[in-house]
Amino acid sequence: MQAKFTLIALIVACVLIIGCTNTQTQALIPVNESTKEAAQRIAKENIIVDGHVDVPYRVEANWVDVTQATDKGDFDYPRAIAGGLDAPFMSIYVPASLDNSVESTVLANRLIDSVEAIVGRAPDKFALAYSVNDVQNNFKEGKISLPMGMENGSPIQGSLDTLQHFYNRGIRYITLAHSQSNHISDSSYDLRRQWKGLSPFGKTLIGEMNNLGIMIDISHVSDDAFYQTIELSKAPVIASHSSLRRFTPGFERNMSDDMITKLAENGGVIMINFGSGFVSPAARMWRDKMGEKRQSLIATFGEDSQQVSDFNDQYKQENPYPFASLDMVLDHIDHVAELVGIDYIGIGSDYDGVGDSLPTGLKDVSTFPNLVEGLLKREYTEGDIKKILNENLLRVWAAVETQTQRE
């Protein structure tokens, strides 16, 4: 009898040990692997999706061949390989100054041409990506995917046929507005709020984007436009490059806790922007004060005055920019995880889009392993990190594709 009980006890102990071991393999890195080594491995073994990289507009303004190493900017092929970046959404950015002009549509097409040209120059390094399957297959082939998102819906020009055209050209998300209210939506930066959210066309556009399989991006829009979009969309939506208003009070471009909660209820994802002004209250205040002083000089001396021309360099010399840190970016990720869970977080760095304001430790696309290492040090599991790096965004993209199939 004693032997029987001993055998049973041993079996139970083994089951418990196996169960614990399986749990720990999900949570812990191998004992013989340093945190830095683990971060490098995770960055290399897993797809890294970045929701917003402004390469097309950068090369439009000052052409360089990003299939090779470049001296400036935040992205090129060697640095992307070093950082493990596999699917940067190329931002087809159209400035708000071109709203309501044919040139906005012309520019959007030209920027798409430039993305296609990158692939054409180096088809062994890059490939276009029109679907989740494309991203996954390109990764297996060792190629960097270049999916595209349009930042500012101005080029649509109020035409659903033009929307179809841009879908056909590869646009897979559209940021409804940028720095000014347009024919689709009010902007978080624009005090006029002419539509009190979405325009009548904008409300129609939400359904058509669902039908076509284009993700809806609510970065840049006003709060009212966000809530109306969440109410209207039949598919999850994204914030392709936004951070948290909790850390930058009064900065409407970032998302409030209530908005993040609603986004999670919708099944969407917030992709954290790395720009110092998006993650650091000190950097945000620095920018605001700089703007106030510049406006004061304009009011006193005129916009074309020497005082205004000299102001930026002088201000920066006298008031060094307070760069954010990697830890501040991680604080934003932590808060979303605590607020709604790990399933609603992604990366939307805004590389090549926020100038020289990037945080220490995240200065270009080669530094993604630093982000992974920081997450490991904060005791995120490897499974959690995979969700942040790609799985959450790819889940949303797949859901948008599935919604299209249902229509």
407 residues of the chain, pLDDT tens digit each: 444 434 444 443 443 333 433 333 345 566 678 999 999 999 999 999 999 999 999 999 999 999 999 999 999 999 999 999 999 999 999 999 999 999 999 999 999 999 999 999 999 999 999 999 999 999 999 999 999 999 999 999 999 999 999 999 999 999 999 999 999 999 999 999 999 999 999 999 999 999 999 999 999 999 999 999 999 999 999 999 999 999 999 999 999 999 999 999 999 999 999 999 999 999 999 989 999 999 999 999 999 999 999 999 999 999 999 999 999 999 999 999 999 999 999 999 999 999 999 999 999 999 999 999 999 999 999 999 999 999 999 999 999 999 876 65
- In this structure, what DSSP letter does residue 387 have? I
Domain extents for the chain?
34-280+323-406
Contact present, 392 and 348 (Cβ < 8 Å):
no
Q: What pTM was estimated for this model as a whole?
A: 0.91
β-bridge partners, 127: 145
Question: For residue 122, what are the CA distances in angstroms to 115, 128, 143, 159, 323?
Answer: 11, 11, 10, 34, 35
Question: How many alpha carbons fall within 13 Å on the CB side of residue 323?
Answer: 12
Alpha-carbon span 401 to 131, nearest angstrom: 8
Alpha-carbon span 311 to 290, nearest angstrom: 9
Helix (H) or strand (E) holding 377: helix 368-377
CATH architecture, domain defined by 34-280+323-406: Alpha-Beta Barrel (3.20)
Helix (H) or strand (E) holding 65: none
pLDDT value at residue 406? 63
Question: For residue 88, what are the CA distances in angstroms to 48, 135, 158, 303?
Answer: 8, 10, 28, 37
Alpha-carbon span 279 to 246, nearest angstrom: 10
